[in-house]
């Protein structure tokens, strides 16, 4: 049996705080996502509890009549609790050294494992098709779990929103970036 997991990065938001809402453009993107993705067969929708993630998927969930489940494990990874000079370079380093951890932050490995735990729970629950709504860094780390070649340049190339599908079948796991 083939199972498909869609991983969506939220639409454009007003900030990085948990309660940061979508921008006007982000709300338009959420409507466009609804129209673009409404023909997908989706059994479950699981979102980061951050406002921007839930607002990104709400129009599609309403159209499909699917309740949005919230899962704390899908929140964005904290690189550090204090400002880091050259943070992009430091972030890039965490894709090469999965255990590198900065003050008050979370290592890539730790973030990856909590994100992949959601994936494993969805698969165990038997959903044939589910959608996870999360944030760029965590999304990239989940993808890296399935394809170790994924690294910082993939994160850097992500858009708001962005969508990947992860297919699980008898031949293994395959990833595909969707055109939005």
Edge to edge, the sheet with strand 3-9 lists 68-70, 44-47, 129-134, 3-9, 162-169, 172-177
> For residues 57 and 71, is the Cβ–Cβ distance under 8 A?
no
Angle between helices 136-146 and 108-125 (to 10 degrees): 70
Residue 55: per-residue pLDDT: 98
Instruction: Please give the mean pLDDT across all residues of the chain.
Output: 96
Is the model's pLDDT at 1 over the cut of 90? no
- For the chain, the domains span 3-177
Residue 163: per-residue pLDDT: 98
Nearest CA to 9 out of 48, 67, 66 is that of 48
pLDDT tens, position by position, 17-71: 999 999 999 999 999 999 999 999 999 999 999 999 999 999 999 999 999 999 9
Residue 19: per-residue pLDDT: 96
Give the residue ranges of DSSP H helices in 38-107: 51-64, 87-96
CATH topology of domain 3-177: Rossmann fold (3.40.50)
pLDDT tens, position by position, 107-128: 999 999 999 999 999 999 998 9
> For residues 88 and 66, is the Cβ–Cβ distance under 8 A?
no
pLDDT tens, position by position, 59-72: 999 999 999 999 99
């Amino acid at each position: 049996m083939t199972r498909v997991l869609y991983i969506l990065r939220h639409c454009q938001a007003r900030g990085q705080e948990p309660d940061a809402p979508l921008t006007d453009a982000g709300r338009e993107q959420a409507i466009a996502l609804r129209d673009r993705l409404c023909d997908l067969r989706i059994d479950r929708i699981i979102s980061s509890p951050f406002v921007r993630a839930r607002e990104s998927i709400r129009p599609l969930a309403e159209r499909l009549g699917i309740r949005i489940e919230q899962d704390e494990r899908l929140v964005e990874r904290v690189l550090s609790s204090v400002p880091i000079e050259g943070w992009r370079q430091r972030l890039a380093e965490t894709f090469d050294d999965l255990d590198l951890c900065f003050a008050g932050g979370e290592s890539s490995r730790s973030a990856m494992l909590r994100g992949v735990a959601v994936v494993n729970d969805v698969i165990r629950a038997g959903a044939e098709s589910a959608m996870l709504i999360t944030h760029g860094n965590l999304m990239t780390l989940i993808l890296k779990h399935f394809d170790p070649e994924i690294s910082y340049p993939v994160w850097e190339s992500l858009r708001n929103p962005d969508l990947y599908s992860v297919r699980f079948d008898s031949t293994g796991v395959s990833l595909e970036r969707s055109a939005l």
